[in-house]
Each structure stands twice: as C-alpha cells, then as structure tokens.
Amino acid sequence: MDVSVSEFYTDKTVFITGGSGFIGKVLVEKLLRCCPVRKIFLLMRPKKGGSLKARYHELIRSRAFDNIRQDPLIFEKLHLIRGDILQENLGMSDADRQLVQEETNIVFHSAACVKFDMFIRDAVQMNVVGTRRVLELVEGIHNLDVFVHLSTTYCRSDLPLLEEKVYPSKHNPDDVIHLTKWMDDGVLKHLEPKLIEPEPNTYGYTKSLAEQIVAEFSGKFPICIARPSIVVAALKEPFPGWVDNINGPTAIIVGASKGILMTSF
C-alpha cells in the first residue's frame, strides 16, 4: 500500500458495515495489516440462536486473517457493534450510536444483498433503506474524514460506458420505498420487471437507487463511491486464490474444476 495512503489511517477509527462478507473480510484484513488504525467498529447482528461473541470468533477464524494471526494483539482493534441495517436506527443502542458518532473518522458501507433474484421489496429494504439509515448515522459523526459507499459497476448496466460520476436513478428512491411498503406481494411481483427495466435484476436497480440516496448527502460530508465489477478469488491478498463464497463466476469455476460442468465441442 502507498505510504501516503497508509498515513491517512494513522490513529483513525473506522466503522464498517458488512465486515463479515467476502469484501468486508478483505477490507478488515488489509486495514489491520497495512494501516495504523486505532480501532475498527464492525456493525454486526448475531446469527439466529447465537451470540455476538460467537459471530466474532467465527469471523476471526477465517483464513483471510492467517497472515496477521501471529500478532496476538491485532484483533484487539476490532470492536463489534450490535446492529442490523434492516432495523430502524440500525438496531443500535443509544450508547453505541453515541460512541460511534464521537469516535469514528472513516466509514465503509459495504453491507448489501448481492442476490440478483431477490424480491424487489427485500432488495429495496436492504440496499436502499439500509443505505439511508447508515447515512443518517454518518450525518451525526463529529470528525468524519470520508464516507465510502460500496456500489457496483452494474448500477447502470444499460450504459456502454460508466464514467466516474453519479447517474440519476430511473425513479425517485422515496417513491419506490413507499411503493414497496403498501403494495401486496402479488401485484409487486407482477410489476417488478417493468419497474426495474432496463436493469436485468433487482440488484443493479436497487444499487442505482442507493447511489441516488448517497448523492442526496453530497455537500454534508466527504463522500466516495466505489464500483467493483465481478468479484472473484483474490489475486494476491490476503493470499492468491482466497475466496469464501461461490457467488457469480466462482460457482462456474468450482463446478468445472470438480467435473460437474462438462462442455462438448
């Protein structure tokens, strides 16, 4: 990592949503290994029937952290914040909310549903409403350096070239949120293809709406939107070939390597 970038994180506190996901783990590992951060807050909800502590131990057991495990104190920088982007006020306690807003300097919002076929109501709640809730939390942070929103290059898949600018969403996010609140499942399912058109799935459509939500906070604090494309196994870090899911093309690669997928020429 460039020295100037590393110095940016000196003695900073970072708040991350989606830290237990594939990209989230890579981000947390990179920050712990390369950046002199003071503390990392991870917004996390306990799995059903489990505790937050169990979720924490599950996270740090990941092979993504094998390169830094020799430092016995490295994981002491991780602090779990109980919460859920699907709940009002992120499901955070007043004490945790105050703590985060007083101490955080950098925010990475990477929590999202990446299922292409998710029902429109659920996708809107996760990717659009959830993003607004995070932004409302960030708005109250006292010493914010930057808010980084993880979007996707498929937020406007109808465009042949996606430039580094925010494109207005097809619909007003508030109108779509309201629509998904009162319309019954049957009618909403029927309207879904026309609603998301020309996007091929609810993922790209709701990520476009989320970018519009983020743009509404422009001028209030520094904002950066990152748009990764297809996510596959790691090239170098945390080590070559690391991946912890079978989403997207990874499933095809795994199927082919195991001889499940066969093609005749």
Mean predicted confidence (pLDDT) in 40-53: 88
Query: What's residue 218's pLDDT?
Result: 93
66-75, 204-213, 230-239: range with highest mean pLDDT = 204-213
Report DSSP letters for 19-58, one per residue. TTSHHHHHHHHHHHHHS--SEEEEEE-PPTT--HHHHHHH
**Ranges of H-type helices in the chain:** 3-8, 22-34, 52-60, 94-103, 120-123, 130-138, 173-182, 185-196, 202-215, 249-257
Q: Is the pLDDT of residue 49 over 80?
A: no
Q: Which of 86, 93, 223, 82 is nearest to 149 (CA)?
A: 223
Q: Give residue-wise pLDDT tens across range 160-203.
A: 899 999 999 999 999 999 999 999 999 999 999 999 999 999 99
Q: Which of 124, 133, 113, 127 is nearest to 183 (CA)?
A: 124
Mean predicted confidence (pLDDT) in 239-256: 75
Q: Across the chain, what does the average pLDDT equal?
A: 90
DSSP state of 176: H
Q: How far apart are CA 210 and CA 127, in angstroms?
A: 6
To the question of pTM greater than 0.85 for the whole model, the response is yes
- Burial status of residue 239 (CB atoms within 10 A of its CB: 0-12, 13-18, 19 or more): exposed
Q: How far apart are CA 40 and CA 62, in angstroms?
A: 17
Query: What's residue 112's pLDDT?
Result: 87
Domains and CATH numbers, the chain: 3-257 (3.40.50.720)
Give the model's confidence band at 2: pLDDT under 50 very low, under 70 low, under 90 confident, else very high.
low
Give the model's confidence band at 265: pLDDT under 50 very low, under 70 low, under 90 confident, else very high.
very low
Q: Do 198 and 158 contact (CB within 8 A), yes or no? A: yes
Mean predicted confidence (pLDDT) in 52-73: 91
Query: What's residue 3's pLDDT?
Result: 53
